[in-house]
Structure 1
Amino acid sequence: MVLDCVIIGGGPAGLNAALVLGRAKKNIIVFDDNKPRNAVTHESHGFITRDKIKPAEFKRYALEDLKEYSNIIIKNQRVFDIKTENDRFFILTKDGNTFEARKVILATGLTDILPAIKGIHEFYGESLFSCPFCDGWELQDRPLVVISENERAFHMTKMIRNWSKDVVLCTNGQKVLSSEQRELLANKDIEVIEEEIEYLQGEDGRLRKIILKSGREVAREGGFVTTGLQQASPLAQQLGCSMNSMGGIDTDNSGRTAIAGVYACGDNSIIAPAQLIIAAAEGSKAAIAVVGDLVNEDF
C-alpha cells in the first residue's frame, strides 16, 4: 500500500500533524524513536489547558487521541534513509522495513549543544534553561546568570531582564558584544563577565555559584544558556533540503521545503522559542499543506 504521508518524529509537531492528517482521512505512519529534545524537561509551559504538564504525560494524551483513528499507525522505529523514485518516497527503517509514501513530513527536531563548562549538565533542565518563555516564571526575581558564548548573548540577556532585574552575563572567555551593546547593558546595571568559567557549583540540580578561572565566585540561583543547535537527524540534508542561516530546514509559511513532497515542522525548521504550542501549531500547518497538495494532485 502506498501511504498518503509518513511523519518522521513523534514530538508535538509530528503528533499534531498526524491528528490533522488522520482527520482528513489520509493513511499515514508516524515514525518515532522516542528521543525527544525535552528529555530533561520536568514540565512544559505556555500551552493553554496543558500548562505545567509533564512531557511524557502530554505524549500519552496525544497518543490516546490518535488511537481513535484507524488510518494512523505509530511505529517506534528509527528511519535511517529516504529514497525517491517517480514522485514517491521510500522510507527505510533500522529494522530493515521499507515503506512507500506520496509525502513526507520531517518533524525530527533539534539537538541542544551545551557550552563546554564543567558541571553544566548537572544543572541544565533543573535551574539552567534555554527558553525564558518556558521557564522564566519559575525563576522570576532571583539572581540569574545568562551563559552565552555567541551572538545571541545580548538578546537573551535583554529578554531575561523581563523576569529578573538581577542579571549577569557570562561569555566564558568569548568577546561577543559590540561596544554599543556593552554600554546598553551597563546602563541597566547588568555586569558582563568575559572571564572563562572554571565550573558551576550547587547541589541537587540547584545552581549556587559560578566559579571563574581567577577564583572569583559569583552567586546565582539559576539562569539561562544559549545552546548550540544541530539537526537531530541527517534526513533533511540527505533529501537535499536547503537550510536557513540558523541551521534549520528552510520552508515556506506552510512548511513546504525546496524538495517537492517534503515538508518540515517543529523545532527543526522554525528555530523559534522551543515551546510546545508553537511546535504543535507548525505541525498542524504542515499537515494542512499536505492535505491541500494531495487534493490538488488528485482532483
Structure 2
Amino acid sequence: MNETEYEVIIIGGSYSGLSAAMALGRSLRKTLVIDSGKPCNEQTPHSHNFLTQDGKSPKEIAESAKKQVSDYETVHFHQGKAVDAKKTELGFEIITENDEKFHSKKLIVATGIVDEIPDIKGFKESWGISLIHCPYCHGYEYRNKKTGIIANGDKAIHISSLVKNLTEDVTILTRGKEVFTAEQKEKLKRNNIQIIEHEISELKHQNGIVESIIFSDQTEMNFDAVYGAFPFHQHSEIPKILDCEFTEFGHIKTDQFQKTNIPGVFVCGDNSSMMRSVSNAVMTGNVAGAIVNMELVTDYF
C-alpha cells in the first residue's frame, strides 16, 4: 500500500474517530484519520460525566487522546476536510477540499453534527458555556440556579423534567405560541414552571456567561443558565453522498455494531446518536473500530 492507500479511513478526528482509530491501531490496521479541526464543542470550557476525565476541557481530552492514538505506528493523520466520496471496486475513494484523494477498503464517518443556533444577539457567543444543551453534561454545575429552557412542546417537557430535579427555579421560553397539551400544561403548573411566549431579542452575557434574557416586548428576566433545544444538520455530506439512510430526526441510521445500510460504511458519535456525550462517542467509536477490524479479518483470513 502507498501513502494514499489504507485499510480504513476515518473521517473526523474527535472522540469517536480517535476511539475507532485506537481500536484499529491496536490491531495493526493501516488507518488514516482525516480531520478538519472544527469540533462542535469548541467553546465548551469543561466536559463532564466521563470517568477519569471529569471537569477537563474538551480540547484537553482530545489532545491527550490524539497523543495516545499517535503512539500506534499504523495510524496516520491528515489535516483537511473530506468533501466527497466514491464507492470503488476495492472500497472507497475520499476526496478533500484540496482535491487530495485517499483510498480504503472500509470507511468510518465520525463527523458529528452542527447545531443551528438562532441568529439572536448573544446566542453564539454563549453556546456551550452557559447556553447549554444537556443536563447530564452541564446540569450539576448549574444546580439550584435560576434556569431558562428555550424549547416548546414535547422537547420542553423532556428537558424541564430533567432540569427540575436540579433546580426549583425553571422557566420555559417558547419564543412564540406554546404548543403544550392540556395534560402537559397541568404538569408544568404542578411543578411551578412558568411559560413565557415572547420572542427573544437578546441574551445578555459576560464572556459567554448569561446574565439575562431580553424579550421582544423589552421586558428582561435574569437567568444563571439557559438550555437550548435547537435543530441540527450533519457536519458532513459524505453519508448522504454515499446514500446512507437517516432517521426521522436527522441522524444516520446504524445497527448495534455501528454499521450503516451501505456495506463497508460505519458511523459513530453524535452523527448517529441522540445521546450527545463524550462517553457515548468513545463507546460507539470503539465498537466501530472493533467491528471494522473483524470485517477485515473475515476478508483476509
TM-score range, shorter chain: over 0.9
The partner residue of 2:263 within 246, 260, 265 is 260
Alignment size in residue pairs: 298
Question: Cα distance 1:116–1:255, how it changes in 2: closer, same or farther (>3 A)?
Answer: same
Q: Does the CA-based 8 Å contact 2:48-2:56 persist in structure 1? A: yes
What is the aligned partner in structure 1 of residue 60 from structure 2? 57
**Unaligned 5+ runs, structure 1:** none
Q: Does the CA-based 8 Å contact 2:175-2:198 persist in structure 1? A: yes
Supply the distance in 1 between the matched residues of 2:296 and 2:281 (Cα, whole angstroms).
23
What is the aligned partner in structure 2 of residue 291 from structure 1? 293
What is the aligned partner in structure 2 of residue 10 from structure 1? 13
| Structure 1 segments (4+ residues) deviating >4 Å | none
Aligned ranges 1:147-162 → 2 under 5 Å: 147-149=150-152, 151-162=154-165
Supply the distance in 1 between the matched residues of 2:260 and 2:29 (Cα, whole angstroms).
21
Supply the distance in 1 between the matched residues of 2:269 and 2:8 (Cα, whole angstroms).
17
User: What is the Cα deviation at residue 149 of structure 1?
Assistant: 4.5
Supply the distance in 1 between the matched residues of 2:259 and 2:177 (Cα, whole angstroms).
37
TM-score (norm 1): 0.95
Q: Does the CA-based 8 Å contact 1:38-1:55 persist in structure 2? A: yes
What is the aligned partner in structure 2 of residue 188 from structure 1? 191
Supply the distance in 2 between the matched residues of 1:81 and 1:44 (Cα, whole angstroms).
32
| Larger deviation, residues 52-61 vs 258-267 | 52-61
User: What is the Cα deviation at residue 64 of structure 1?
Assistant: 1.4
SS of 1:182's partner is helix
SS of 2:218's partner is coil
| Larger deviation, residues 55-64 vs 129-138 | 55-64
Q: Does the CA-based 8 Å contact 1:153-1:177 persist in structure 2? A: no
Whether 1:205 and 2:246 are equivalent positions in the alignment is no
User: What is the Cα deviation at residue 10 of structure 1?
Assistant: 0.5
Supply the distance in 2 between the matched residues of 1:257 and 1:150 (Cα, whole angstroms).
31
Supply the distance in 2 between the matched residues of 1:251 and 1:136 (Cα, whole angstroms).
29
| Larger deviation, residues 173-182 vs 77-86 | 173-182
Supply the distance in 2 between the matched residues of 1:163 and 1:144 (Cα, whole angstroms).
10
The partner residue of 1:144 within 135, 142, 147 is 147
RMSD of the alignment, in Å? 1.4
Q: Does the CA-based 8 Å contact 2:90-2:104 persist in structure 1? A: no
Q: Deviation per CA, 1:215-268, whole angstroms, max 9, x where unpaired?
A: 332221112111211100100000000001110100001100000000000000
Supply the distance in 2 between the matched residues of 1:199 and 1:56 (Cα, whole angstroms).
29
Q: Does the CA-based 8 Å contact 1:249-1:269 persist in structure 2? A: yes
Aligned ranges 1:1-299 → 2 under 5 Å: 1=1, 2-149=5-152, 151-272=154-275, 274-299=276-301
Supply the distance in 1 between the matched residues of 2:33 and 2:42 (Cα, whole angstroms).
19
Q: Does the CA-based 8 Å contact 1:15-1:62 persist in structure 2? A: yes
